[in-house]
Amino acid sequence: MRRFVSIALFVSSLITATNPTALHAQQADDIRATANQALTAFNIPGLAVVAVKDGNIILAEGFGVRDIQSNEPVTATTLFGVASHTKAFTATALALLVEQGKLNWDDKVIQHLPEFRLADPVRTADVTIRDLLSHRTGLGLGAGDLMIWPNTDKTMADILAGIPHLPLANGLREKYAYNNIMYVVAGEVVTRVSGMPYHDFVRQFLLEPMGMNDTVIGFSKVAPTATNLAIGTIEKDAQLHRFPLDYLEDFAAAGAMLSNANDFAKWLLVQTNQGKTTDGTPIFSETSQQQLWHTVTPLVVSESAAANGTQFRAYGLGWAVKNEFGVKQISHSGGILGMLSLTTIIPEHRFAITVMSNQQAFGALTAITQEAIEDLLELPNRDWLAEEQAKYQQAMQKKATFELTRPALIREPLPLASYAGSYRDNWYGAIEITEQQGELRIHFTHTPLLQGRLEHYNGDTFVVYWDEPLLEADAYIDFTVTRDNQVTEARLKAIASFTDFSFDFHHLRLQRQ
């Protein structure tokens, strides 16, 4: 953070102490300065930043370019995929149904969605709406995400049919494990209980009353050639690459929303005004907000988080909750390939900030947010930008120098044709492995992006190299072979620790058909 000791700033502080407008202008200038520095420090094409304070929009602007191909600027109307920010809208939609008397937070899911099943019948009968939203059903981190990520052709019926085959990693309400699929289920609950498609309910009862008229759910609602759409990028080998693809298209409740700075300002104003717009129009009740922001599932405070002033962490309903620097903070992040976003709300100060980016440098969003909070709370000076830049550079270096470790002695595989065939996982479905021109190819039949080649690693283990290297999700595939050299099944596992957890290959159990 930049603090300059000068007579000019001393005089300015005297003015802003009694002049909120001047104070807001100073806050906005500080945020602008950090955002502009972040573009260069993190090799980010474009950012959108929105901040509100005491019922006023102090900043809603774009920085940099929306598309590295066209070099058109990011503006306050440029749409970004805000991904898991959608979860807060899903939870709020359910809160409205609670207000309408159509459901209760602790209703069993099967009351409203009779075909819902988990692997354990006893747990199936006990899981509540609150459990779905607080990541405590017992499913593991990202379990089942390959049914929706990258974009698939699966229907809601397919998803519900697949869930009972997902392995349970923990007991019910025993442990936090972030899970997108349960928010897909929550969105279907909205549809069943309201009698309206999820998209329509959210638009009619949330987006339209708040005036969020540019916000849409699903990339198909925006033409790929639209001039107000940010195009995602991924940095690989010190170069930025465009990644203009869609995700979670049909399973909107988990993360398919696109929004912009102008619209998100309206959302933040409602969040910092106890569920009402600035003109007093109620969107949701104060009681609902208390439920959404209430601690449900405790989280571990890491050493690094504790060093940053975090004293407590938990997940509520669609929002993360923590106490940091002595104040309660409500937050959520969002990420799809090529785009990231971060929102932080400090209710006590009626302050909120959202940063959207068309690059995957999360440290930039953290730095912009933390610098703004540092100013707000008048905390000791700390160079968040430099700290986060150093972490980002280390991460990029780790990726650039990553090499697959090869065993000293290589066992030969069976003839390649022995591995070719149709395989099936009970929750994902069909996966084809074929021999083509002397090499093995793999195709996840429901996921257009998941096609690649197999390269021998050792014995009956191969490495899957996806045709789209920007996925950064290469994986081991290990075939099970009987004593008479018959291949019966295969298991996959991501190779690199930096692969996104939503590529949950390790949950698959591929049976040869």
Helices marked H in 43-180: 86-99, 109-112, 121-126, 129-133, 156-162
pLDDT of residue 457: 97
Q: 511 pLDDT exceeds 60?
A: yes
Check if the beta carbon of residue 340 is closer than 8 Å to that of residue 357.
yes
Q: Looking at the chain, which residues constitute the CATH 2.40.128.600 domain(s)? A: 416-512
Instruction: Name the pLDDT band for 409 (thresholds 50, 70, 90).
Output: confident
Q: 122 pLDDT exceeds 60?
A: yes
Please give the structure tokens belonging to residue 413: 């595989």
pLDDT of residue 16: 39
Cα 229 → chain centroid = 18
pLDDT of residue 469: 94
pLDDT of residue 2: 46
Instruction: Name the pLDDT band for 5 (thresholds 50, 70, 90).
Output: very low
Check if the beta carbon of residue 438 is closer than 8 Å to that of residue 420.
no
Average pLDDT, the chain: 93
Q: 11 pLDDT exceeds 60?
A: no
pLDDT of residue 250: 60
Instruction: Name the pLDDT band for 246 (thresholds 50, 70, 90).
Output: low
* pLDDT tens string 422-469: 999 999 999 999 999 999 999 999 999 999 999 999 999 999 999 999
Place of tokens 């991924």: 234
Instruction: Name the pLDDT band for 58 (thresholds 50, 70, 90).
Output: very high
| Residue 128 to residue 125: CA distance in whole angstroms | 9
| Residue 125 to residue 111: CA distance in whole angstroms | 9
Average pLDDT over residues 90-100: 99
pLDDT of residue 104: 98
Kind and range of the H or E run holding 375: helix 362-377
How far is the CA of 25 from the CAs of 7, 8, 155, 421, in angstroms?
Answer: 19, 15, 48, 64
How far is the CA of 355 from the CAs of 218, 264, 392, 447, in angstroms?
Answer: 20, 10, 17, 30
Most confident of 57-66, 149-158, 211-220: 57-66
Range scoring the smallest mean pLDDT among 57-66, 192-201, 296-305:
296-305
The reported pTM is: 0.94
**pLDDT over 90, % of the chain:** 86
Please give the structure tokens belonging to residue 504: 């949950």
| Residue 124 to residue 120: CA distance in whole angstroms | 6
Instruction: Name the pLDDT band for 220 (thresholds 50, 70, 90).
Output: confident
| Residue 504 to residue 190: CA distance in whole angstroms | 26
| Residue 296 to residue 173: CA distance in whole angstroms | 9
Average pLDDT over residues 192-217: 97
The CATH number assigned to the domain with range 416-512 reads: 2.40.128.600
Average pLDDT over residues 277-296: 98
pLDDT of residue 15: 39
**pLDDT over 70, % of the chain:** 95
Please give the structure tokens belonging to residue 102: 């159509």
Q: Looking at the chain, which residues constitute the CATH 3.40.710.10 domain(s)? A: 7-73+215-246+261-400
Place of tokens 């929306």: 66
* pLDDT tens string 131-146: 999 999 999 999 999 9
pLDDT of residue 249: 67
Q: 50 pLDDT exceeds 90?
A: yes
pLDDT of residue 20: 62
The CATH number assigned to the domain with range 7-73+215-246+261-400 reads: 3.40.710.10
Average pLDDT over residues 396-400: 91
Kind and range of the H or E run holding 202: helix 198-202
Instruction: Name the pLDDT band for 238 (thresholds 50, 70, 90).
Output: confident
Check if the beta carbon of residue 424 is closer than 8 Å to that of residue 445.
no
